[in-house]
Amino acid sequence: MSDSIRPDEIIPPEGGGGLQLKSLLADIVLLIPNLVKLLTRLVRDPRVPRRSKLLVGGMLAYLVSPVDFIPDFIPGLGKVDDVLLLVFAVDHLLRKAGEEVVMSHWDGPADLLDMVQTVLDATAQLVPPPLKRWVDRLSG
């Protein structure tokens, strides 16, 4: 009877789920310095449109500003607008820079950059279309 499964028993996933989580966390920790270097290099690169650089700078200023669309004191939602707009600005910068320019500045593995782009694309879908159109008009 000890071999049977109880209805309330938790069955661990095959392949060591804990190891996969540790690997994912390690990838994220290693990603941050590469992403910061990439963004710094793109902002300094003359091939990247100035307006796209200004958009990222504006979003960074918005992050440190006490004025928010959604006040930071609202639990759970307070930081959502900050993160969403910053991710949108970074996605915009990468798109306007172009794949060739981005790859020339990327130090990490290509598949990690693909993962970053997938997350950025998915997050950018959450930005309201009128805001996207306004940003696209501003950045030319």
Residue 10 has pLDDT above 70, yes or no: no
Distance, CA of 131 to CA of 134 (rounded, Å): 5
- Which among 8, 92, 2, 109 is positioned nearest to 49, based on CA atoms? 92
Q: What is the pTM of this model?
A: 0.71
User: Looking at residue 26, what is its pLDDT?
Assistant: 74
**25 vs 15: which has the higher pLDDT:** 25
Distance from chain centroid for Cα 2: 47
70 C-beta neighbours (distance < 10 Å), count = 14
What amino acid occupies position 110? A
Distance, CA of 80 to CA of 63 (rounded, Å): 11
Q: What is the pLDDT of residues 30-57, one digit of tens each?
A: 788 888 899 999 999 999 999 989 988 8
Length of the chain: 140
Q: What is the pLDDT of residues 88-105, one digit of tens each?
A: 888 889 999 999 999 999
- Which among 65, 127, 64 is positioned nearest to 90, based on CA atoms? 127
Summary mean pLDDT of the chain? 80
Residue 21 has pLDDT above 90, yes or no: no
User: Looking at residue 8, what is its pLDDT?
Assistant: 60
Distance, CA of 107 to CA of 126 (rounded, Å): 28
